[in-house]
Amino acid sequence: MQFQLPPDTPRGPLTRFAPAPTGYLHLGHAASAVWVWGVARALGGTVLLRIEDHDRGRSRREYEQAILEDLEWLGLEPDLGLPSEYRGGSSEYRQSDRAAVYERELARLTGAGLVFSCDCSRRRLRESGTDMPNVETRYDGRCRHRGLAPESGRGVRVRMEPGEEQFVDLRLGVQTQTPVEQCGDLLIRDRLGQWTYQFAVTVDDWEEGVNLVVRGEDLLESTGRQLRLARLLGRPSGPRFLHHPLIMSPSGAKLSKANRDTGVRELRVAGVSPEEVLGAAAAATGLLVEPATIAAEDLGALFKV
């Protein structure tokens, strides 16, 4: 079985695989890697390995090293952000090494009058939000006009004005989202001084030249706000997106690091081969009719150009 890429998919793209070192890789990460490397190789593109350790409270260097080991075992070699670079010390693709870049982009937004300080806690946001299941808690704008000075213990939000964001997902088709209704004013730095995922990934994709984002459907709802934020930062046109299916656990939830679902390291210890892991991941996301062995260098064959 092959996935048919739309004719307007950019050729020779720069895409990225961007794990967070908050746990070990599981089969869901392997599936995402299959799509990232497969699409890139089918299109003659470049894969960048980015370590997204913006969450300093949960990120661990031992998890980063385990991620590098698992990718090498699977045969998934990036073109940029090489494992040797990460092991050698600082890297331009590790988020915790990019504080100066994020400070610069925050200053850009501040100079344009697009941000404000916020002292709302997560508890307050939960209490002020909806109790409906599977519905994102929307920031209600409480601090937008309070004029709080930026200081320790206060977050930073960027103003999300009304209006739709429309984009074409290369698998799901035309998508329309309204960020202000989904999330409200977007948090870009939390009350602990940590950069948020939404901000860091938007800055990184622009500065690093990523023009095709291949990632799981769980991040589909983030796309509109990231496109809006990228435009506020000055990016004239955003990257293209392809959101792939997720592997679900028997309970119906997506696989989780916290639950140690189908860990790659556990599969290695059990004697499963890299080709079997990649084949199982490909089958679980609809790229193969049934599990079969497939080597990393053959992933491009799963995608028809």
Distances (CA, A) of 294 to 69, 216, 238, 261: 19, 21, 33, 22
**pLDDT for residue 125:** 77
- Cα-only R_g, the chain: 20
Q: Are the beta carbons of 185 and 144 closer than 8 angstroms?
A: yes
The DSSP call for residue 97 is: G
C-alpha to C-alpha distances, 151 to 114, 123, 145, 190, 303, nearest whole angstrom: 17, 20, 16, 11, 49
Q: Is the pLDDT of residue 127 over 90?
A: no
- Tens-digit pLDDT profile for residues 160-196: 999 999 999 999 999 999 999 999 999 999 999 999 9
At 252 the pLDDT is 54
With a cut of 90, say whether residue 87 has pLDDT above it: yes
How is the chain split into domains, by residue range? 3-304
CB atoms within 10 A of CB 280: 24
Residue 134, pLDDT > 70, answer no
Q: pLDDT exceeding 90 applies to what percent of the chain? A: 83
pLDDT higher at 126 or 207: 207
- pLDDT (tens digit, 9 = 90+) per residue, 205-263? 999 999 999 999 999 999 999 999 999 999 989 999 999 999 976 555 566 555 555 79
Q: Is the pLDDT of residue 135 over 70?
A: no
Mean pLDDT computed over 10-32: 96
- Answer whether residue 67 shows pLDDT above 80: yes
CATH of domain 3-304: 3.40.50.620
Q: How confident is the model at residue 129 (pLDDT cuts 50, 70, 90)?
A: low
Task: Tell me the pTM.
Answer: 0.93
Cα diameter, the chain: 59
Residue-wise pLDDT for 250-294, tens only, equals 555 566 555 555 799 999 999 999 999 999 999 999 999 999 999
CA angle 127, 217, 232 (to 5 degrees): 70
The pLDDT assigned to 130 comes to 54
Query: Are the CB atoms for 81 and 91 separated by under 8 Å?
Result: yes
* Percent of the chain residues topping a pLDDT of 70: 93
